[in-house]
Structure formats: C-alpha cells, structure tokens
Structure 1
Amino acid sequence: MRFAIGLLVIMTTMTSCQSEKTISLFNGKDLTGWHVDVPEMDTVPNATNPFLVRNGMLVSLGDPRGHLITDAGYKNYRLSVEYRFAGEPGNCGVLVHSSDPRALYKMFPKSIEVQMQHGDAGDFWVIVEDIEVDNMEERRGPRAEWGTTEGKKRRIPNLTDDSESPLGEWNEMVVECVGNEIKVWVNGDMVNYGYNATASSGQIALQAEGAEVEFRKVALTPIDKLSK
C-alpha cells in the first residue's frame, strides 16, 4: 500500500543562539524518526526492506529502490552526512526539501537531490522542484531542454572532480539550506551552490539506488545563514 505522508513539521525561524544545537537524525540503533517508501514493497509480499541498521550504521542496500524519509520536515539547517560505498561504487543521494512522494517516475519524491554517486558527489538533480546556479547554460545545457520532470535536463554538475575519498573510505558531505539557497561541501571542498530554489523546506531523504552505502552520521544543525 502506498505510504500516505502525514508530515510533522519542524520549521521555525532559527536564531544564532540556536545554531549549535546539533541533533542526530540517526540514533545508531533503529530507524526511529524515518519511514520507508519503496514502491516494490507495495506489491511484492516478500520484498526486502533495503534500509537497515548494521553494526551501528544506517545501511542502504541499494535494492529494491526507493527512499528513507524523515517523518519531520526542516528548514534553515546544516546537514552533515558521513558515508562510504563499502563494496562496488554506485549511486545514492541525499534529497532535501522533499514533499510529494513518487512525483517523478513513480519513485522519486518532489525534492532537490544532492548527488552522492561515486565520481559525481555534489551534483544537483532537480525533481519537480528547481534551482539556479551561476553559468547555468554552461553547466546544465541548452535552456530549451531544462526541466524538472521526466525526459528533461535535470542535472546540474558540481564544481570539482577530485573531492571524494578513494572508494571504500569515508566521505563527509555537508549540505546547508537557508531560505532558497543550497550550498554543498564534500570533504571540505565547496562543490556546489544554488539559489532561487523553488522550495525552502521539507523532509530529508536518503536513497536506495542500486549500490550499498553505509552511513555512520546523519546530523542536523539549525543555522540562519550560509557558511562562506
């Protein structure tokens, strides 16, 4: 049965005195605070839940494909995610400002994806939302081909090619979302910055998208301005 989201919203205006109150979105024990949306689980009785906790880490097995989504929504925050591809390199992503489920390809929630695919960490992929960057046509392609739905140019590549750790080693991705701006760092390198996003709040999601990924940290800190 398709999951109907009853969104618990945590979206207050943050002050600077709140900016150091980091919360862990993953408790190291179970998936409290998250729910799974995996289309195959609707119709295949014995389908495996691709999200689990193993040795104190949150693990995305990669298949069947879908999303692990926070029950709560957030705005104005810094999200720090430590992850690695423990086996074969592959694809995954962090989705911010997530809302309507299965809005794209009957799979992806309406959101802005920050790509974690090995070799492309920090790309933006727009999913029925949108965002702008500098040098937009150079980075995204011909304007006439842009879009946010199936068959359109939805990818905005990151600014670096060598920020990721070697395969099997840990990476830290930091995503800051303030108002309609999003800024991304990978292992300390600023790799993407976007503005005029069509969403400024929502849930946060992690993907199962074909490759096993381990997460040892998913932490959120309220902020009121982007880091430089």
Structure 2
Amino acid sequence: MKNRPFYLEGMVILLSVFFCCACMQTKQLSAPDEWKELFNGKDMNDWWVKINHHEVDDNFGKTFRVEDGMIKVRYDQYDDFNNRFAHLYYKKPFDYFHLIVEYRFTGKFHHNAPGYAIRNSGVMFHSQDPRTMYKDQDWPISVEMQFLAGLDDGKARPTGNMCSPGTDVIFEGRVDPRHCIESTSKTYPMEEWVRAEAMVYGDSLVKHIINGDTVLVYSKPQIGGGVVNNYNPSIKIDGKLLSSGYIALQAEGQEIDFRRVSIKEIPRTP
C-alpha cells in the first residue's frame, strides 16, 4: 500500500485528538449520573452528628460508630435515654437525587426510649442544616423516609413510610394532615437487610422504593405541620417549599445497622 500524504496523517491526528477530547467532555458531563458512596465503609469524617440536648458533633455515648464496614447505632454507653433523638448528617446538601440506604434492625431497644420508637428509624432528606438547630431541638425540620420492622405480632407494619417533622406534603391531591403516611410495602422482620430508595425531584415529586417496588408517591414537600419542638422560629417558615437540604440517618432508641448509603444526582431537565 502506498504511503498516505502528509496532510492526511495530520488530519488523522487532529481527528483523534478531537474525539479524545469529546469523550473526556462527555464523561465529565455524565458525572452527575454516577453513583457516589456517601458512606465510605471506613469512617464518618464526611458526616456531622446532632443529638437532642447536645451540640453539633457531640457523638454522645458513641451513638453512631463504624464497625465491620457498617454505620452502627448503639446504646450500650447510655444510662437514661432522655429523648436523645439523634441524626447523622452528610456534610453536603442535595436537591435532585436518587438515594439508596441498606439497613437492618438489630440488637436492643433502649428501655427509656418512647414506645413508638421500637424497631423504628429512618433517613431524613431536605433537612435543615444541623448547625441551625438549637441544642434542645428534638427533630430537624425535614422529610423522613421512615423505616420499621415487624413486631412479631402478626400485624402488618410497612416500611418506607413518610413522616413529616416540621413539614407537610401533598398526597392524593391535598396537604395531608397526618404526621406519617403509610406505604404499601410488605412487613420485614428484625435482622433482615432491606434496600430503601428515595427518588427526590427538588420541591416537586418524591418516590419511595422498597426492595425494587414503588411503595409511596407524594409531592410538594414544604415547611409546616408540627412535631418539632424548640426550633428557631426564623427557620420554620410554614408554606415554604423545600427544594434541597441535607440527608441524615436517624437514631431514636432502636439499634440498627446501615451498610450502604449511596446517591446519584438527577440532572434537571430544561
């Protein structure tokens, strides 16, 4: 075969460079679609702790700890529970995202915690910054994807419910007055790993997914309602839509393990 002219060689090189740059740009543009592990399996350096009656980052009694590649909630260093509802916040807010949390209920329930908290936990999203919470504020103003396990009494106890500390949502066309809205999920027992997902589209649509099944859909998360106590009134502006906020794992008296917390940011459509 005859040698190609020099200018053709140059064009081949230029085209190669062009396609290489285009591929790099495409990869950069697609980065928001990639999964990010919020929990690295080793430590909680990218997280803040806020426990009721304590300042931010006072992890009283090592409530949250990393062991065996998991975030564990434990109460073995507690005496009185004293309504020490606790939350572990990732240090970056999110707005449009797909969240995965894999959890299992395990261990003991603290005998001084309120009865409703038995085999009860959750993940908060669109939460206020914990640094804006008063020391004795019991819950963050947020939307909660509630996790429950069965009580071994044969009664249905779905997980992936919606609870609304200091917030409201639109459900079935209206602001629902209930603090918690039950999902359609099945009941899961203690010690069973459950994959919970939330697809959150800013202040518009929210979907809860349990083990691959969509179990609850609602919209328009906004500040409102009750339940939260001892908050800064300048933060609680009822009716204000919640378009973004922090993600936090919850601890309210029941021991629980979290082995995965992952997020994929959802690109906004024009």
TM-score, normalised by the number of residues in structure 1: 0.76
Instruction: Report how many aligned residue pairs link the two structures.
Output: 194
**2-structure distance, mates of 1:224, 1:53:** 32
**2-structure distance, mates of 1:46, 1:33:** 14
Name the SS for the 1:48 alignment partner. helix
The residue type paired with residue 179 of structure 1 is G
Q: Which residue is equivalent to 2:93? A: 73
Alignment of 1:51 onto 2:94? no
Q: Which residue is equivalent to 1:9? A: none
Whether the 8 Å CA contact 1:18–1:223 is kept in 2: the answer is no
Name the SS for the 2:171 alignment partner. coil
Could you tell me which runs of 5 or more consecutive residues in structure 1 were left unpaired when the two chains were aligned.
1-14, 141-145, 147-152
Shift of 1:109: 0.7
Alignment of 1:174 onto 2:214? no
**TM-aligned CA distance change 1:100 to 1:21, over 3 Å:** closer
Shift of 1:186: 0.6
Name the SS for the 1:110 alignment partner. coil
Shift of 1:49: 2.6
Shift of 1:19: 4.8
**2-structure distance, mates of 1:50, 1:90:** 16
Q: Which residue is equivalent to 1:200? A: 243
**2-structure distance, mates of 1:53, 1:100:** 23
Shift of 1:126: 1.1
Q: Which residue is equivalent to 2:120? A: 91
Q: Which residue is equivalent to 2:161? A: 123
**2-structure distance, mates of 1:225, 1:115:** 26
Residue 254 of structure 2, aligned match among 199, 211, 214: 211
Residue 39 of structure 1, aligned match among 52, 66, 89: 52
Name the SS for the 1:194 alignment partner. strand
Aligned residues: CA RMSD: 2.7
**2-structure distance, mates of 1:161, 1:220:** 22
The residue type paired with residue 195 of structure 2 is E
**Max radius of gyration: which structure?**
2
Cα shift readout 1:91-139 (whole Å, capped 9, x = no counterpart): 1010000015448x821111001101223311111122221111658xx
